[in-house]
C-alpha cells in the first residue's frame, strides 16, 4: 500500500488498542427509529446525539489508543464536524453494504496500523472506561485474540480483536437477538479462543429508556 493511502493515525501509547466508535448521522426518522413511538422522531434523534457524545467521551476517558469515529453515511454532517472540533477525534466514513461489512472494513484498516482494536456503538450508556480497559487487557495480555461485550438483548456492545476474519461478519442477522449466538458458533467453528465481559444493556426499544440516566433524555 502506498504511503499516501496509509496516512498515519495519531500516535497512541505502545500496545494500546485503538477504539472505533460507530455512529450514524442524527437525522430524524433514520436513527433510533424503534424509539419513535415513545419519543417522536426529533427527540429520538436528539437522544442519539447525546448517546454518541457520551460514548465518545467515555472512549476518550479510557486513555487507551486513539479514538476514531466511523460515521455513516459519511463524515460531512455538522454533528460529526462539531465532535471533531470539540474533541479532536479522527473521522472516517463507514464503508460496506451492511454492518458486518462495515465492521470488517474498519477493523482491517485499524489492525494494519495498531496491534489491537475495540469496536463499540453509540447506544450503550452503561459502558464505562473500566469496561473498555478490561477489554483492552484481554488483548494486551494475549489471553485471547478476541473479546466480546455481550448485550442483554442477544447482540453485543463491544468486539475487540488482535486479528480479524471476514467469516465473523458475513451472513449474520444484524439487529436480531441471534447475533451473539451466531458469533459464538462461528468462533467455535473457527477454533478461535475468545473471552466475554459482563453483559450490558443497550438502548434500542421503548422499554430500555427506563434504565438510562434521565439526563440523557432531557
Residue 12 counted as domain residue = no
Does the CA dihedral 33-157-78-49 come out positive or negative? positive
CA dihedral sign of residues 191, 197, 203, 206? positive
Domain count for the chain, please give it: 1
Assigned domain for 5 exists: no
Give the mean model confidence (pLDDT) for residues 185-189.
Answer: 97
State the average pLDDT over residues 20-36: 96
Distances (CA, A) of 152 to 27, 32, 86, 182, 208: 27, 18, 32, 15, 11
pLDDT per residue as tens digits for the range 79-132: 999 999 999 999 999 999 999 999 999 999 999 999 999 999 999 999 999 999
In a domain, 7, yes or no: no
Domain of 198, in residue numbers: 18-209
Instruction: Provide the β-strand partners of residue 118.
Output: 19, 160
Tell me: pLDDT of 1 over 50: no
Q: Is residue 115 part of a domain?
A: yes
Does the residue 4 lie in any domain? no
What is the Cα–Cα distance from 33 to 194, expressed in whole angstroms?
A: 33
Between 10 and 66, name the one with better pLDDT: 66
Helix axes 41-61, 129-141, angle to 10 degrees: 50
Instruction: Classify residue 13: in a domain, yes or no.
Output: no
Tell me what the pLDDT averaged over the chain comes to: 92
Q: Is residue 214 part of a domain?
A: no
Residue 216 domain-assigned (yes or no): no
Q: For residues 90 and 66, is the Cβ–Cβ distance under 8 A? A: yes
Q: Summarize pLDDT for 198-210 with one digit per residue, the tens.
A: 999 999 999 999 9
Which pTM was predicted?
Answer: 0.92
CATH number at residue 140: 3.90.550.10
- Please return the burial class of 218, using the count of CB atoms within 10 Å of its CB with bins 0-12, 13-18 and 19+: exposed
Residue 8's pLDDT band (cuts 50, 70, 90): very low
**Position 11 confidence tier, pLDDT thresholds 50, 70, 90:** very low
Q: Which pLDDT does position 211 carry in this prediction?
A: 87
Amino acid at each position: 500500500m502506498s504511503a499516501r493511502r496509509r496516512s498515519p493515525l495519531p500516535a497512541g501509547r505502545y500496545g494500546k488498542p485503538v477504539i472505533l466508535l460507530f455512529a450514524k448521522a442524527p437525522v430524524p426518522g433514520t436513527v433510533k427509529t424503534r424509539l419513535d413511538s415513545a419519543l417522536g422522531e426529533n427527540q429520538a434523534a436528539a437522544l442519539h446525539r447525546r448517546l454518541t457524545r457520551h460514548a465518545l467521551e467515555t472512549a476518550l476517558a479510557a486513555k487507551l489508543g486513539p479514538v476514531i469515529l466511523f460515521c455513516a453515511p459519511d463524515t460531512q454532517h455538522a454533528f460529526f464536524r462539531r465532535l471533531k472540533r470539540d474533541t479532536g477525534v479522527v473521522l472516517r466514513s463507514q464503508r460496506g453494504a451492511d454492518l458486518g461489512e462495515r465492521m470488517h472494513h474498519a477493523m482491517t484498516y485499524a489492525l494494519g496500523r495498531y496491534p489491537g482494536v475495540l469496536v463499540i456503538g453509540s447506544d450503550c450508556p452503561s459502558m464505562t472506561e473500566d469496561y473498555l480497559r478490561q477489554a483492552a487487557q484481554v488483548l494486551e495480555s494475549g489471553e485471547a485474540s478476541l473479546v466480546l461485550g455481550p448485550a442483554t438483548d442477544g447482540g453485543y456492545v463491544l468486539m475487540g480483536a488482535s486479528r480479524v476474519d471476514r467469516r465473523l461478519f458475513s451472513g449474520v442477522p444484524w439487529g436480531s437477538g441471534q447475533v451473539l449466538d451466531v458469533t459464538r458458533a462461528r468462533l467455535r467453528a473457527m477454533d478461535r479462543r475468545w473471552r466475554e465481559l459482563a453483559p450490558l444493556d443497550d438502548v434500542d426499544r421503548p422499554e430500555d429508556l427506563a434504565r438510562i440516566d434521565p439526563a440523557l433524555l432531557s
